[in-house]
Structure 1
Amino acid sequence: MSAELVERWFGAGFAGLHPLLQQLHRQGGVLQGEVELATGSGLAGWLGRRLAAKLGLPLGARRVPLRVDIHSDEAGLHWNRRFAESATLVSLFRPVGHWPDGHWEESTGALRLALKVDSHDGGWRWVPIAAWVRGLRVPLFLLPRTTAYKRIEDGRYHFFVGFSLPGLGTLLSYSGGLELVPAVVAEAG
């Protein structure tokens, strides 16, 4: 599995990814930079702050440093995120089938999501298709809507993750442009 995991899952579609995304998923790496955190207002903001606390995102700051360690091994694709000095938010993605009909299953804490991939313009967007909480299937309409994508802009890894609820709007989002950190610097950090 390991280094070729994403390439094997995408098959011929891997060539459609931007070369920097191809490199990241072939070799793994550390992305680092400053991101913007935003919450909604009123009830949406209150819910967004509660969600941020559950995810370990620092509250009270609008811009924070983020470090994402990305690698593949026999278990799957690992995305370990650390916002400022918070605890590491660990996600493990396991491939199911192959692109374009397959999906990935992301496990983060008690939540597991089945995510299709919509690939265009060299990037990709995650599209939730099923969810489980503590192993029990949960209808997607009971969870906040998730919007998540990554692409390359001006040589940087640009991403967006947002959560919203119908009628309330945005609960929480975080986004930014991250730089690939050279291996020597990444190991020291």
Structure 2
Amino acid sequence: MQSVVSRWFGAGFERLHPLLQALHLHGGVLVGPIETALGQGLARPFGRAIARKLGIPLQAGRHTLRVEIAHRPDCLLWNRRFDDRQRMDSTFRPVGAWPGGIWLEQTGPVRLGLAVEVIDGGWYWRCRKAWLFGVRLPLASFPQSIGYKRIEDGRYRFQVTFTMPLLGKVLSYGGLLESRPARAAE
């Protein structure tokens, strides 16, 4: 069996942890507690603006996250639900192939060109390009996103942090989620 993800990675797919391989072959549902945090001082309003645009809770602290991962022949879908209220949906389209290719992530008006590094079986995103409402932006003017997903003790650890030059961290969210079979998404 293959998926859009396994085809993009090619032989490199085997470098991912077996549980990440299964998730990206069959899809699935990830559920659990997360922590969100906003930057301090001048960074705080920027973090709130990013959270508002992406559908991330504006209040820092503990939340519940449900992520439904599905595959189409030409894309990967991530549908996130924060506290069963706020929604953040992303479509990932592959360009080229690993290790030199990227994924184009579309989340609302934001599109990111993301390279992937595999480190100790984990998947680490590296932002290479950014667009807002279809307009390409210089990376220096756009909040940088640092994200990863890896397996810890049989669970799915993920972290996403947005930073800005001179301000540092403006927003982050992450947690340790339990995996459920894809049919649990129905």
**Fold conserved (TM > 0.5)?**
yes
- The aligned amino acid for 2:13 is F
| Structure-2 separation of matches of 1:4 and 1:185 | 19
**Structure 1's 146 and 61: CA in aligned 2 closer, same or farther, altered over 3 A?**
closer
* 1:101 aligned counterpart, secondary structure: coil
Q: Distance in 1 between matches of 2:134 and 2:59?
A: 33
Question: Equivalent residue for 2:105?
Answer: 106
Q: Is the 8 A contact 1:57 1:86 kept in 2?
A: no
CA RMSD, Structure 1 to Structure 2 (Å):
1.5
Q: Post-superposition shift, 1:53?
A: 1.9
Residue ranges of structure 2 left out of the alignment (5+ in a row): none
Give me the TM-score of the superposition, normalised by structure 1.
Answer: 0.93
Unaligned runs of 5+ in 1: none
CA contact (8 A) 1:3 1:28 kept: no
Q: Using a 3 Å threshold, how does the CA distance of structure 1 residues 28 and 185 change in structure 2: closer, same or farther?
A: closer
Q: Which whole-Å CA distance do the structure 1 matches of 2:182 and 2:147 have between them? A: 26
CA offset digits 1:140-159 (Å, max 9, x no partner): 11111110111001111100
Alignment of 1:130-149 (within 5 A): 130-149=129-148
TM-score by length of 2: 0.94
Task: Assess if the C-alpha contact under 8 Å between 2:122 and 2:149 holds in 1.
Answer: yes
- Shift of residue 131, structure 1, vs aligned partner: 1.3
Query: What is the aligned length?
Result: 186
Distance (whole Å) between structure 1 residues aligned to residue 185 and residue 133 of structure 2: 33
Cα distance in 2 for residues equivalent to 1:39 and 1:137: 26
SS in 1 for 2:10: helix
Residue 14 of structure 2: SS of its match in structure 1? helix
